[in-house]
Structure 1
Amino acid sequence: MGTTQLHRGRLIDHIQLVVRDLQLSREFYTAVLNVLEIPVVDTADGYFWADELVVSSPESAESRGVLTGRHHLAFQAKDRATVDAFYRAALAHGARDNGAPGERTYHPGYYAAFVLDPDGNNIEAVHHGEARRSAPSVTIGF
């Protein structure tokens, strides 16, 4: 039996979404990520990025002209008020409701809102509550 060090928050290196309308998606993601205090970096190369999220047009070299399928992305929010603000900003910038802010049954303190972005991706903002905060890494045995 060995041990493996898991680094919380780094399971995924990055995610790329290839979208139909890059400008519409840029406006949507800039608005909702601004609420979450995540800066969006714009480029002139047919894509923009924010942290580990890359959003590109089908014309970008990296996308090879193929749209991505529908995904569920959950962004961490620092508190419930931020989840509420995320939801309002999303609806104001082209999203469709997919679950108003509220407690969910996943675990006590799980407070989230769900919207569908302009391409139909299920985008969530979640605050886990203070009881679920965990250390940045943990060692487990296999």
Structure 2
Amino acid sequence: METNQLHRGRLIDHLQLVVADLAASQRFYGAVLAVLNVPIGGTGPGYFWADELFVSSADSEAAQGKLTGRHHLAFQADGTAMVDAFYQAALANGGTDNGAPGYRPYHPGYYGAFVLDPDGNNIEAVFHGAATRSAPSVTVTF
């Protein structure tokens, strides 16, 4: 039997999206991340970044000329009101509805909203409810 330590929080170091219209994506992500209290960290020729999310145009050096495919990203929210605000900001800044805010059957207390960003990526804000918050790591035995 093998025991593994699972860590919660920083499974992914960073993620890059290569988009067709950088200005539209910056407007969209700037608005939705602002309501999630995540500032845009910086910009440069052909890119911008916020926390672990790096967004670039296809002609940027990091993109190598290729758009990324459709992805699903879920951002953590501090409560249901923040999820609601994310959804409204997304729709007002180039996003389209892909699932209005509400409770989902994934686990008790799961409250999320889904939108498509300007490139068709499925972007979610989720609040897991106070009852599901737990310690930063768990031990799993196989």
Q: Which TM-score bucket, shorter chain as reference?
A: over 0.9
Task: Specify the SS of the correspondent of 2:48.
Answer: strand
Amino acid at match of 2:99: G
**C-alpha distance in structure 2 between counterparts of 1:134 and 1:12, whole Å:** 19
Amino acid at match of 2:46: G
Structure 2 residue ranges without an equivalent (≥5): none
- Aligned twin of 1:120: 120
After TM superposition, the runs of 4+ consecutive aligned structure 1 residues lying more than 4 A away are none
Structure 1 residue ranges without an equivalent (≥5): none
Amino acid at match of 1:118: P
Quick check: 36-45 or 62-71, which moved more? 36-45
- How far residue 4 of structure 1 moved from its aligned partner, in angstroms, is 2.6
- Aligned twin of 2:136: 136
- Aligned twin of 1:61: 61
- How far residue 49 of structure 1 moved from its aligned partner, in angstroms, is 1.0
Query: Between Structure 1 and Structure 2, how many residues are aligned?
Result: 142
- How far residue 109 of structure 1 moved from its aligned partner, in angstroms, is 0.9
- Aligned twin of 1:43: 43
Alpha-carbon displacement from aligned partner over 1:33-92 (angstroms, at most 9, x marks no partner): 000001112222311111111100001111001000000000010000000000000000
TM-score by length of 1: 0.95
- How far residue 141 of structure 1 moved from its aligned partner, in angstroms, is 2.7
- How far residue 138 of structure 1 moved from its aligned partner, in angstroms, is 1.8
- Aligned twin of 2:97: 97
TM-score by length of 2: 0.95
Higher strand share: 2
- How far residue 120 of structure 1 moved from its aligned partner, in angstroms, is 0.2
**C-alpha distance in structure 2 between counterparts of 1:108 and 1:141, whole Å:** 24
**C-alpha distance in structure 2 between counterparts of 1:106 and 1:3, whole Å:** 26
- How far residue 5 of structure 1 moved from its aligned partner, in angstroms, is 2.3
Percent of aligned pairs with the same residue? 71
* CA-atom RMSD in angstroms: 1.1
Task: Specify the SS of the correspondent of 1:124.
Answer: strand
